[in-house]
Structure 1
């Protein structure tokens, strides 16, 4: 059984799970159950479920953070960047959410916009101090790299800050 890197929070783990397709059919729809388990004496976060398309059992184990990250809802983690979801994936999550924000349901719109704001804030964590943009080598997934390759300029700090402020403005 392989234990994945640290999931800073359960919200971050769920984003990773939503982005990770079933190894048998490629679908992502799975109803996840969450708990704790022990692997070789180490306490880990365990997520299990059954693929809704092909009924394959799915299980993921994540290391727990050294300290809990308290925060707003959603809470993806502390000041350090994710080791599960790369910056291209985070920006794609924000793009997808903002493209389907309902205009007739303020409560749902607020939830989706808060998630998009938090996702863009995660992208900004990948910009090193004193740098102007997320470095190209910070994209480790095929999906994240594809987002970067299409428009690398979107990963400049100034542009990300404008997007973040625009999304935050929609919450007011």
Structure 2
């Protein structure tokens, strides 16, 4: 069996969050993590039980050769390689979901709310950066073949121009600038 690489713990958890229980559709479950060796490969295995229907849940990912240390101020989902777990459209969907709940201005927010908003918008910027990694060197946009999920393809079909490399760079930069407006 071929396992797909989870470049970071954050990427693995996001993938699990986006793949609900196949029996009842519940998205969350308490996870127990373990590192296992299968056929000479180090894998991370997450197991748990669906809190809604009691079905067992399990996800297994290939571990990277090097595990980057997470920076609490600068979210990251992986190295320079494109994700093997989420396609470019899913990354843009994640960014959309995050920014949908963030106010455009920090006025009236408590310091804790501002810190949370800054972290969320930086996470959205990191998700857009992940989508940009699917643009091959010298290309102008993410190739349609890099959209293998139904969700990712739906994002592409709704607005293919979002996958242009210049637009991806601009959106990432705008999100990073927006995140700075929430600084204390």
* TM > 0.5 fold call: yes
**Alpha-carbon contact 2:119-2:179 (below 8 Å) kept:** no
Gaps of 5+ in 2: none
Q: Could you say what secondary structure the match of 2:59 adopts?
A: strand
Partners of 1:131 and 1:78 in 2: CA distance: 20
The one of 105, 113, 124 equivalent to 2:121 is 113
The answer to whether 1:27 aligns with 2:26 is: yes
Residue 170 (structure 2) pairs with residue 171 (structure 1): no
1:30 Cα deviation after fit: 1.6
CA contact (8 A) 2:31 2:46 kept: yes
1:98 aligned partner: 99
Which structure has the bigger radius of gyration? 2
**What secondary structure sits across from 1:59 in the alignment?**
strand
Question: Which deviates further from its counterpart, 60-69 or 122-131?
Answer: 60-69
Structure 2 Cα separation of the partners of residues 75 and 119 of structure 1: 8
Structure 1 length-normalised TM: 0.92
Between the aligned partners of 2:167 and 2:40, the Cα distance in structure 1 is 45
Moved over 3 A (4+): 69-73
Aligned length in residues: 171
| 1:162 maps to 2:170 | yes
Cα separation, 1, equivalents of 2:42 and 2:81: 22
User: What SS does structure 2 have at the residue aligned with 1:159?
Assistant: helix
Distance 2:70 2:45 in 1: 22
Aligned pair 1:133/2:141, yes or no? yes
1:1-172 equivalences under 5 Å are: 4-70=3-69, 72-73=71-72, 74-101=75-102, 104=109, 105-172=113-180
Q: List alignment gaps of at least 5 residues for structure 1.
A: none
Most deviating of 105-114 and 115-124: 105-114
